[in-house]
Amino acid sequence: MSNKKIINIAVIAHVDAGKSTLVDALLKQGGAFRDNQEVIEQVMDSNDQERERGITIYSKNCAIEYKDIKINIVDTPGHADFSSEVERIMKTVDTVILLVDSSEGPMPQTRFVLSKALELGLNPILMINKIDKKDQRAIEVVDEVLELFMELDATDEQLHFKTIFGIAKNGIAQFSLEDEGKNLDPLFETIVEQVGTYPIELADKPLKMQVSSLAYDSFIGRLGIGRIFEGKIVEGQTVSVVKNDGEVRQGKISKLTVYQGLAKVAVKEAFAGDIINFAGIEHISIGDTVNELNNINAMEPIIIEEPTMSMNFLVNNSPFAGKVGKFVTSRNIKERLEKEMEINVGLKVEPLNNPTIEGFKVLGRGELHLSVLIEQMRREGFELALSKPEVIFRKEEGSKELLEPMERVIINVPTEYSGTVINKLNQRKGLMIDMDSDGVRDKVIYNIPLRALIGFRSEFTNDTHGEGIMVRSFNGFEPYKGEIESRKNGVLISMANGKTLPYALGNIEERGTLFIGPQIEIYDGMIIGQHSRDNDLEVNPTTGKKLTNTRSSGTDDSVRLTPPKLMTLEEALEYIEWDELVEVTPDNIRLRKRWLSSTERKQHRNDNKKAID
């Protein structure tokens, strides 16, 4: 491959702003697909969970051709929990396309991803998307974005950002709202004009590249992915690898590929400016610098924000342990978590302080960040018991003041429900920053402790009858806000082993809400529902109706049960308290008490969570 003109860009935005849809359009108009090729939507979201959840989880690369220029594109996640995926790729690009919805305007995650781009000195290009919406207010949104730039201390050059208007799903971009859009040429022209191609003369310097991502190939092993900042890299070349801690090792490049459309194409050499995949160095890690042999020129390590939430991944010790899962031991869990840490830079794993408990403390960016990993492990055949998610507190050096992570929350609800939502956010130590209303819906912005939002989403959905929208992102650390009231209701606990029977469940559902239906295998200590009162209640869901010799009309009426409330993994994790666990197996998600027998629970009734963690 010749040393050609190259530009690297990333598409950043809040979730649902249309990033993956825009990348689809760029690929189509950049010649990545044949004319008769059938192409699925959000083609970059190739992971099963990405397609099921409708979100981007992992940053991914592709490349297109515009005139005589190769444009490498990085599609990034929009959800706050996966912000580490955005942080680590920012140094590999020349500019970012900041995508903002023409109706919603800048959202919490918009602030985060934009701040990272501005910190690195990038000059973003603003694209106002979905201008075909009936409630679009594109001009107002541009002003709101300008205010956001100023709040984030953008330089004068960054404040003079170029603005494009468009409809990503139709592959249209235009310089003004009055123009008639035909294709994405205005966006391509703006990218080329603002950024310019990577200086070709840098290819004559000694090799300097940094690894921003990792992948794994079952045939050739671990792959390093990153941008060549200077020089060129050649297949078969022996290189020096500078680790993040300064240690220098040697390695040999066994295979080299670059991006062409969605495919990886094998090449013999690659030059400054390009984003490459290379194999052959098993010890490579994110942030490592690759230099020519004995010509060390290390780059600054990639700094990732610290995790804000933790959860204990424990060995499953329920009566059903090992019946379905293939990987059930602490060694299996440890190996899987170590493998995940190699590619998931926002994740940390620590041993538990308690030697009597088998498991690990896993630290991540939020409930979704951790639940995606748990779901992936479940699909791979793992069994786990999971503790209640907890936020990570910190203390500044030289200070005794306890700090806790905060979230910036934007809530959009019908006016008739806003009073209830505001009241609950106030009770959870939230501070209202702004409120606006159009008479039909209210938009409320809050700064609130992260721990106050654990378990709030399902409550919010119920309070707003499913019509409320809540988006959130990390908003730094602030002094500890004090105690926050937890779940008000107790739970219904099975006191027997066996299968649930309709007759027993019919009597039990008068006491609360059931989480399971009839003919379900249960065990002593398993949570089968929510009690209508604030205390836990032990029940027997396996009791059958006593038979008599007398039969008369009406005595054998069938039991009609209310459909049970089936919990997703995220809902289960939000729901449990400190003395409860979520049991995850390849085919089931169960709630249970940490101590299964009634006697053990009485012994630990006065314990607190610190005593067991």
Task: Answer yes or no: is 91 a known binding residue.
Answer: no
Under 8 Å between Cβ of 286 and 243 = no
Token readout for 415 is: 């006016």
Task: Answer yes or no: is 468 a known binding residue.
Answer: no
Task: Answer yes or no: is 131 a known binding residue.
Answer: yes
Please state the separation of Cα 138 from the chain's center in Å. Answer: 28
Task: Answer yes or no: is 130 a known binding residue.
Answer: yes
Token readout for 273 is: 């400016």
Please state the separation of Cα 168 from the chain's center in Å. Answer: 23
**What are the backbone angles phi and psi of residue 378, rounded to the nearest 5°?**
-60, -45
The span from the CA of 147 to the CA of 116, in Å, is 17
Close Cβ partners of 328 (under 8 Å, ≥ 6 residues apart) = 315, 316, 321, 322, 382, 383
The span from the CA of 286 to the CA of 212, in Å, is 5
- C-alpha distance from residue 274 to each of 290, 375, 493 (Å): 14, 34, 59
**What are the backbone angles phi and psi of residue 10, rounded to the nearest 5°?**
-125, 145
Task: Answer yes or no: is 20 a known binding residue.
Answer: yes
Crossing angle between the packed helical segments 330-343 and 367-380, to the nearest 10 degrees: 120
Phi-psi category of residue 441: left, alpha or beta, with phi > 0 → left and psi -120 to 50 → alpha? beta
Task: Answer yes or no: is 562 a known binding residue.
Answer: no
Task: Answer yes or no: is 496 a known binding residue.
Answer: no
Close Cβ partners of 444 (under 8 Å, ≥ 6 residues apart) = 410, 411, 412, 413, 418, 421, 422, 425, 432, 434, 435
Under 8 Å between Cβ of 106 and 13 = no
Single-letter code of the amino acid located at 319? P
305: which DSSP letter? P
Intra-chain end-to-end CA distance of the chain, in Å: 56
CA atoms within 13 A of residue 211's CA, in its CB half-sphere: 28
Task: Answer yes or no: is 19 a known binding residue.
Answer: yes
Under 8 Å between Cβ of 270 and 258 = yes
Under 8 Å between Cβ of 382 and 327 = yes
**What are the backbone angles phi and psi of residue 317, rounded to the nearest 5°?**
-120, 25
| Residue 444 CB burial class (10 angstroms; 0-12, 13-18, ≥19) | buried
Residues annotated in a binding site = 16-21, 129-132
Binding residues for GTP, as ranges, are: 16-21, 129-132
